[in-house]
A and B are shown apart, each in its own frame.
Chain A
Amino acid sequence: MAHINQAEAREWPYPVNYGKENEVSADVLILGGGVAGCHAAISAAKRGAKVVVVDKGAVIRSGSGGAGVDHWHGAYTNPCSRITPDEVMDIVKSFGPYSFGEFGNGISCYIQCNESYDALMDLEGMGVKVRDVDDEFAGADFRDEKTKLMFAYDYENRYCIRVNGGADIKVALYKEMLRLGVEIHDRIMATILLTEDGRQGGRVVGAAGIHTRTGEFYIFRSKSVILSMAVPAGQWIFSTELIGFGSSFNDPNNSGDGTAMAWNAGAELALMERSGRALSSGFFRYPPYGTGDHNNTWFACTIVDANGKEIPWVDRDGNVIRNVSDRYKPASGQKFFGYGRRGPYDIWGPSLIPDLSECIKNGEYVLPLYADLPGMPEHERRAIWGLMVYNEGKCRIIYDTYNKAGFDPDKDMLQLAVLPPEQYGHGPNWETYGPGQWREVAFGGGGGIVFDWDLRTNLEGLYVAGSQQYSGGTHAHAATTGRYAGRKAAVYARDAEPGPVGRSQIDGEKARVYAPVKRKDGIGWKEMRAGLCRIMQDYCGEYKNEQTLQMGIRWMDSIFESEASRAFARNPHELCRTLENLTHITVGKIIMEASMARKASSLHLDFKRMDYPDVDPPEWNKIVTLRQEKGEIKTGELPLDYWLRPPYAASYEENYRKYCDLKMEGEG
């Protein structure tokens, strides 16, 4: 066979049966077994539904949160919290924890505010260590002596919890699902949503996909479906200084399959034009949390310059904070604080001096900088290095590698990345801004699927959770929206009959997905992926106009006609990556269509139209939506707070009470 050197090739280690059909049926089908999907599965199974979970990776560790988490955000209902969900919503009208601003989603934000602590308690019930039960931090400012809960950031208001068993949450979720009889299908890439009689816009009655090791075909029939796959990541960046998938912040499996499937089924998408300048995936970036730092996982570490001169911490008004312990307190007259100088002034938190870049440029502070862990109080030092850097996702390697190499936080100051002065002070030091045309959609920064207070989409039977929504991005957001969607999908399935699956939809999908393994030669998936990313960089980068966007769509179509029709895969794994490329074409085109539909620039969306330079003109303060009807693209719009307008009540609390479905189950 061409492209395969028989002398060097080894036979694929798994039995291969392309096209062989397997049929599975469920009450609730969950596509994407990350944090959101697992919580959804557990909550639906507890309501008696027969639940099936499908994941491209392995559910025991898959998803962006699969390797762990250190902060449990938004736990406003924990017994030590001094603020309430409604107080939070009052201050920041509509926001996601990492997407402060007018374009967050109030529904999932309010769900997180109300259920974050409950979801954490669910995990504790599954054996996850949440509290400081071994009294390692007895007497620490951030520890509540009675509950033994430990807090981060604002030690007075105590709404963000440090989880000391965070590294193993996914394993506990997996075991709980097995205990509840959830049927788990690992290594299956879902490629299509099945709709009633194959009709676009019809009720969703299942899904189909391929096994990424055996190549077999799976047909899932279900009364309701929860889409808990990820935000479409990796559209712009494939390889940087780091090669391959490691170059992107998001889980490499997050190729946007959920978004593409939903689009093809007729779901309405929102804010697909939104993206951000790559930071977490930027050029020169270090391993996440793997340099000295003063943000999030490293909050609020002392930073010194090359001569040992300390860089001052200041409050929101620029007043120097003299004591370490005051970095964890609100400013004078402030109710509570959030994360850094983000969002409204009301919740700006302590930070290093805001003009740090200037001070480095003018020589006041000398590079390189260091995180002065030895200078931190012992509890804080041990919390940063050992509790946070370890339990946070992907940090275990850092803890092990650095410790083995002799790094000792009691004695050593970890160096910050050495960067051009302007790169300092924007966010975590391990992140760096890349070129403007490198975009990313991490932490709720992209688009997703429109949903209502049931977390239902415009398609009957289809629900969304986690970052598949156009919001969120934290572990707690995924957990809480998953839990809520699980309840709603189970309630729907209780009264629903299975819907008819059309044979022609199955046959059409099989012809599409197996084409690359039937060819003898052609373009490999990596070359095509890199080319698709380059189209997005060139024509839908930081600056866009009608002409670039039209050209980008034209080249996407052209690649689809030409290279994609020659795409070639040697085994089921390569087939999966090749099909992801087809997803990238679909999603890339949606992003460019959405970008053409918004004829204004926007600060909140980090969206720059060269032909419409006005930034956030009032008439464009709305959500632009896109969906397909009989193959035609229909654009629409929604008010920024559509969830507080008819048919819904005008208050979060009233809507939540009406829709959350907690009372009837005796939970909450």
Chain B
Amino acid sequence: MAEKAYMVPNPVMPCRVISINEELCTGCNICVDVCRTDVMVPSSEEGKPPIVLYPDECWFCGCCAADCPVPDAITVEYPLNQRVGWKRKDTGEHFRIGMKNPPPPNTKPPVC
């Protein structure tokens, strides 16, 4: 049987900009209402995640993620994150965002 395939316009950004975890999102639309540029609009279905309509108008201020009441429901992704790298001082190992087998997350809370 033939496989099904779909066509959509190419994404306008080199990154996803805003990813919403559909299982965690409650569709409260707080992110929609704190966004300075209306990157997102509400879904036509109540309780569903908003639609990321204008990702190329994102300023990457991060307020949508900061003000989201559900941890990890929104991830803001900077363009070209893969270029960010660091070196472990003691061992000389090199790391970068997106690498295979990354080091465990650093869970130290910020000062705020």
Measuring CB to CB, which residues of chain A are less than 8 angstroms from any residue of chain B?
10-14, 56-58, 60-63, 66-67, 129, 136-137, 164-165, 167-168, 171, 186-187, 212-213, 242-246, 251-253, 286-287, 290-292, 370, 372, 374-375, 382-383, 386-387, 390-391, 393-394, 396-409, 411-415, 573
Contact = CB atoms under 8 A, between A and B. Distances in A.
Contact of B56 (A60, A164, A245, A408): A245
Nearest to A375: B89
Nearest to B61: A67
Contacts of A286: 83-84
A372 B103 CA distance: 19
9 contacts: A136-B111, A167-B112, A386-B108, A390-B110, A391-B111, A394-B61, A397-B76, A401-B78, A403-B106
Counting chain A CB atoms within 10 Å of each CB, which of B44, B56, B107 scores highest?
B56
Interface residues of B, number: 55
Contacts of B109: 386
Contact of B60 (A397, A400, A573): A397
Interface string B57-92: 111111101110000000011111101111111100
A291 B80 CA distance: 13
Contact of A251 (B59, B79, B85): B59
B33 A411 contact: no
A399 B62 CA distance: 11
Given A244-B12, A375-B89, A408-B103, A252 B95 contact: no
Given A253-B36, A390-B112, A396-B62, A374 B89 contact: yes
B58 A245 contact: yes
Given A57-B37, A387-B111, 4 more contacts: A58-B36, A61-B35, A62-B36, A391-B112
A508 B36 CA distance: 28
A213 B32 CA distance: 12
Given A58-B33, A397-B76, A13 B44 contact: yes
Interface of B is mostly: loop
A61 B36 contact: yes
Contacts of B36: 56-58, 61-63, 66, 251-253
A415 B93 CA distance: 12
A212 B38 contact: yes
Question: Which 4 A/B pairs are nearest by Cβ-Cβ distance?
Answer: A406-B103, A244-B56, A57-B36, A390-B110
Contact of B86 (A187, A391, A414): A414
B34 A58 contact: yes
Contacts of A252: 36-37, 57, 59
Contacts of B110: 386-387, 390-391, 396, 399
B47 interface: no
A414 to B, nearest CB: 5
A403 B78 CA distance: 14
B52 interface: no
Contacts of A374: 89
Counting chain A CB atoms within 10 Å of each CB, which of B34, B44, B65, B103 scores highest?
B34
A164 B112 contact: yes
A88 to B, nearest CB: 29
A61 B61 contact: yes
Given A244-B56, A287-B60, A406 B106 contact: yes
A403 B36 CA distance: 26
Given A129-B112, A411-B89, A403 B63 contact: no
Given A66-B36, A245-B37, A401-B81, A386 B111 contact: yes
Given A61-B36, A244-B12, A252-B59, A415 B112 contact: no
B32 to A, nearest CB: 9
Contacts of B51: 10
